Structure 1
Amino acid sequence: MAERSDRPAAPRLIFFGAYDPEYPRNLIIRKGWKRLGFPFSECRAGMKMKVHTRYPALMLRYMGRAGKGDILFVPDFRHKDVPLAWALARLGGKKIVFDPLVSRYETRVLDRGDAGRGSAQAWHNRNLDRISFNLPDLVLADTAAHAEYYRESFGVRRERIGVLPVGFDEDTFHEFPQRVDDGELRVLFYGSFLPLHGVDTIVEAASALSARPIRFLLVGGGQTHGAARNMAESRRLEKVEFLPSVR
């Protein structure tokens, strides 16, 4: 008689939306799911497609083999794809999980300042957050603080939100042999210099620690890069170095 396994069958995920498959968060989750031996499929449309062409394309792909699964997983930044995923999930008796990574309102209005708080764009982004955060069966946050923000700002019920910390790609990042101690501590920042990254705080810390044997290496570029560089230069911080992005 064949041995019976008591392990329940793993749910099959359907990665759904106009997401970037190479974006680190998406790549890590897919690799992790695959490493656990769990099945998944992808129902993806071009990232630059507008809603009126993206929705039909996603529906056609979903109706094919891509739609075979138990849970629709909408990856980061795809707030606008959640309503379609929710409708398809309900029609097929499936669950939906959304991994927003950020709030559009917080990012575009409060952080970047692309629109004023009382503007139509602010209302649009806040409303899109509220809809996309409350339709899914589960919303993922990258930190406990973000989870609390989603609950307080958009009314997401506590039992419908979970925390999945940002990880790293083990195929890219490896442990290096310990370097020879030359008496200097090196601090590395690598990012796109968004306001929420707080590079100005890093420069402030470098200024406060300028007499210590600590070197700061800031790699990348973006919105606050110029201001951070000017701050470092105005304070004559010789141990703060700026380098362009590495790809």
Structure 2
Amino acid sequence: MIVPYMGQFDVIVLWPLAKLRGKPVVLDLFLSLYDTVVNDRKMVKPGSLVARCLKKVERLSCRSANRNLLDTQTHARRIATLFDLNPDTVDAVPVGAEPGDFANVPPRCAHNGSVNILFYGQLIPLHGVETILKAARSERGRHHQRRILGSGQDQSTVADALASGDCAHVKWDHWVPYEDLAEAIEQADVCLSIFGISGKAASVVPNKVYQSLFAKRSVITRDAPAMREFFRPGRSCAAPCSSG
């Protein structure tokens, strides 16, 4: 029995039925709600009633499954430690990229020397928008055109930077329809991944990495154990860098 993403509560209900039928349960966990809300986004204080309840429920759901799937082995080990799970019950499947439009993005045409840099995402702490803006406002960064697509928890950081009048070379669009995302990538020379400093940020490889590489664009991302599961500096077109 396969329980898809966001099935933490479903698997608790389905587990007894699967047990009666002698069927193993696979939970496509993808991410931990507790780790995301408490540790990464810091929306709930650790040790609070909400945090403790969420952790207990999610631990129960993970233990109800015979196998829990994450996106990287680094992430799988993190979740096993977080919920005190048997390491044999966690595994990883890379998120990859959807077939279709991304593979059909044409190569970037010749330009006047200015590099177009694109970031798209929900502007959550994991993305590290502060680092993205710090690079954009650096002496070298000002020579390149930048586009940010997205809105979310840290969007005020982008709004404040643009309001300062110090980011004339940065364009911000709150969102574009998903079907227009490939067109946005087509206009870029380089795509950005994530630069957050949390433990979760060090444990994942988001689908924007695979989508951008599938579209034949170079990617700059934070260095992390998860990234090095798949990419090596100098031997791939994803360039890990320090987030400091």
- 1:38 maps to none
- 2:182 maps to none
1:151 matched to 2:115? The reply is: no
2:60 to 124, 131, 138: 131
- Deviation of residue 169 (structure 1)? 1.4
Q: Distance in 2 between matches of 1:77 and 1:128?
A: 13
Q: Distance in 1 between matches of 2:67 and 2:143?
A: 46
- Deviation of residue 232 (structure 1)? 4.7
Aligned AA (2:22): G
Check whether the contact 1:134–1:155 (CA below 8 A) recurs between aligned residues.
no
Structure having the higher Rg: 1
- 2:167 maps to 237
Q: Distance in 1 between matches of 2:71 and 2:141?
A: 35
- 1:26 maps to none
Q: Distance in 2 between matches of 1:204 and 1:228?
A: 11
* Cα gap change, 1:186 to 1:122, in 2 (>3 Å): same
Q: Distance in 1 between matches of 2:77 and 2:161?
A: 33
- Deviation of residue 111 (structure 1)? 2.6
Q: Distance in 1 between matches of 2:164 and 2:73?
A: 36
Aligned AA (1:79): Q
Check whether the contact 1:194–1:223 (CA below 8 A) recurs between aligned residues.
yes
- 1:82 maps to 11
- Deviation of residue 150 (structure 1)? 0.5
Structure 2 unpaired stretches of 5+: 178-244
2:133 to 185, 203, 208: 203
- Deviation of residue 225 (structure 1)? 0.8
- 1:165 maps to 94
1:98 to 27, 41, 52: 27
* Cα gap change, 1:212 to 1:204, in 2 (>3 Å): closer
- Deviation of residue 211 (structure 1)? 4.5
Structure 2 SS opposite 1:208: coil
- Deviation of residue 87 (structure 1)? 1.4
1:140 matched to 2:140? The reply is: no
* Cα gap change, 1:235 to 1:158, in 2 (>3 Å): farther
Check whether the contact 1:210–1:239 (CA below 8 A) recurs between aligned residues.
no
TM-score scaled by length of structure 2: 0.66
- 2:148 maps to 218
Structure 2 SS opposite 1:202: helix
- Deviation of residue 210 (structure 1)? 4.1
Q: Distance in 2 between matches of 1:74 and 1:211?
A: 44
Q: Distance in 1 between matches of 2:42 and 2:142?
A: 36
Q: Distance in 2 between matches of 1:90 and 1:209?
A: 61
What is the count of residue pairs matched by the alignment? 176
Identity of aligned residues (%): 32
Aligned AA (1:112): R
Check whether the contact 1:109–1:116 (CA below 8 A) recurs between aligned residues.
yes
Structure 2 SS opposite 1:114: coil
TM-score scaled by length of structure 1: 0.65
Check whether the contact 2:77–2:90 (CA below 8 A) recurs between aligned residues.
no
* Cα gap change, 1:197 to 1:211, in 2 (>3 Å): closer
